[in-house]
Amino acid sequence: FPVEFQRALPILQQIEAHGYEAYFVGGSVRDFLLGKPIADVDIATSAFPAEIKEIFHKTIDTGIKHGTVTVMMDSVGYEVTTFRTETGYQDFRRPDHVTFVRSLKQDLQRRDFTINALAVRADGLVIDEYHGLDDLAAQEIRAVGNADERFHEDALRMMRAVRFASQLGFQITADTYNSLLHNAPLLQKIAVERIHTEFVKMMLSKNWRIGWQQFVKSGLIKQTPFFDQLDSVFPTFLSGQQPLLDEAAIWVLLAESLQLSREQLTQLLHAWKSANEVIEDSLSTLAFSRQLKAEAWPTAIQLYRIDANIIERLATVWPLLSWRADFTKLAIMYQRLPIKARHELQLNGADLIDKLNLRPGPIIGELLDEAEAAVVTGQLKNQSDILLQWATNQLDK
């Protein structure tokens, strides 16, 4: 077992010692079998939440109604969820009822894809009720049971299909994909926050082009906010290799390749309920990208003040666009800046107070601001004696 499982093993063993079943399940088993790093370890058990709370001292009621209790072990929390079935998905999203059951097989049946429906017992036994191992080996995403039914129960699973295809570099099986084509309109029933989460995971994965192409070709994109109103041909992004830096990079890439105005990008970000920080980063990055596209090269002081993330972000976006700003030129301009941050300035408040006998006050900050700007633009050398002399002259004026 990898360390993540090793550490959580005592939880499985303690539950078993009390006469219940317990397994590692879900994404952690999939990633373990693929030899990939494991994100969160999920545990499923035949014990009911109250029974789990009797076995362990430190627990948190994470989602008791859905059967989830967090068990604390060495200050790490593990979600332990009672086997359950879900019924009555009247609204294409969430089940009306969850029912706790004692059978693992039933619990695995409610899971989305065969590769996510595997379980591992403490002694290493793999439980594979739905041929998930075959699909892992064949690198295929296949719905557990009837794909139409599964997408009707929860339409988000269609987004998850393209997300996993992208993250893992797997194919969606013909059956599951055909069903996705028919059922794409059901995605409209899903809260945009949930779509957003899957979309971002998809776009930040290594094979995001595969995911994006399927998202577009399947018509899922036309069932999402903003894009449902847009009459554009969506780009395919065939060239380029590197992954995108962060979520803001995704939005800037889309804004540039769809030639969205700043207002349109703002609408898109609001429609998708993006976080405020992401909105700010996206808009400032788009502005800088547009400035460069117009060949308006930044001044030294602008380049000095610009958030380094903006440049790093654009470095992952530009190679994917048909036009290319001269990134080398920008990098050289940046390298040539005499200082890259305030702390590199060979003058500080203490120098001014000690050596020029100044009293602490606003004058100190003003002098430092001016010195900084003069050094960045090359008007002053970044040497403490020169800067002190300059400050003295300023004070005499």
Annotated binding residues for ATP, written as ranges, equal 27, 30, 111, 154, 157, 160, 163
Binding mask 34-63 for Mg ion (x = CB under 5 A): ------x-----------------------
CB nearer Mg ion, residue 201 or residue 222 = 201
Task: Give the CA dihedral 318, 319, 322, 325, nearest 10 degrees.
Answer: 50
Q: Give the residue from 348, 380, 382 showing the smallest Cα distance to 365.
A: 348
Cα 227–chain centre separation: 20
> Who's near 340: CB < 8 A, 6+ residues apart?
304, 334
Q: What is the DSSP string of 147-212?
A: HHHHHHH-THHHHHHHHHHHHHTPEEPHHHHHHHHHHGGGGGGS-HHHHHHHHHHHHTSTTHHHHH
- Out of 8, 143, 156, 391, the residue judged to bind ligand ATP by CB under 6 A: 156
The one segment of 152-160, 219-227, 326-334, 359-367 that binds ligand ATP by CB under 6 A? 152-160
27 belongs to the binding site for ligand ATP (CB under 6 A): yes
- What are the binding residues for CTP? 27, 30, 111, 154, 157, 160, 163
Q: How far is the CB of 23 from Mg ion (least distance, A)?
A: 15
CB nearer Mg ion, residue 27 or residue 49 = 27
Q: Please choose which of Mg ion, ligand ATP, none residue 84 contacts, taking the beta carbon within 5 to 8 angstroms, the exact cut-off set by kind.
A: none
247 belongs to the binding site for ligand ATP (CB under 6 A): no
135 belongs to the binding site for ligand ATP (CB under 6 A): no
**Residue 102 CB neighbours (<10 A):** 14
Alpha-carbon gap, residue 99 to 84, rounded angstroms: 5
The one segment of 61-69, 154-162, 241-249, 374-382 that binds ligand ATP by CB under 6 A? 154-162
For residue 22, which amino acid is it? A
CA angle 194, 199, 203 (to 5 degrees): 155
Residue 259: exposed, middle, or buried by beta-carbon count in 10 A (0-12, 13-18, 19+)? exposed
Residue nearest to ligand ATP (CB): 27
The one segment of 61-69, 124-132, 153-161, 299-307 that binds ligand ATP by CB under 6 A? 153-161
Q: How far is the CB of 26 from Mg ion (least distance, A)?
A: 6
- Out of 21, 27, 108, 112, the residue judged to bind Mg ion by CB under 5 A: 27
- Residue carrying structure tokens 């039914």: 149
157 belongs to the binding site for ligand ATP (CB under 6 A): yes
For residue 264, which amino acid is it? Q
Q: According to CB under 6 A, which residues from 189 to 208 bind ligand ATP?
A: 201
Q: According to CB under 6 A, which residues from 42 to 101 bind ligand ATP?
A: 42
- Out of 154, 246, 247, 256, the residue judged to bind ligand ATP by CB under 6 A: 154
Residues paired with 40 in a beta bridge? none
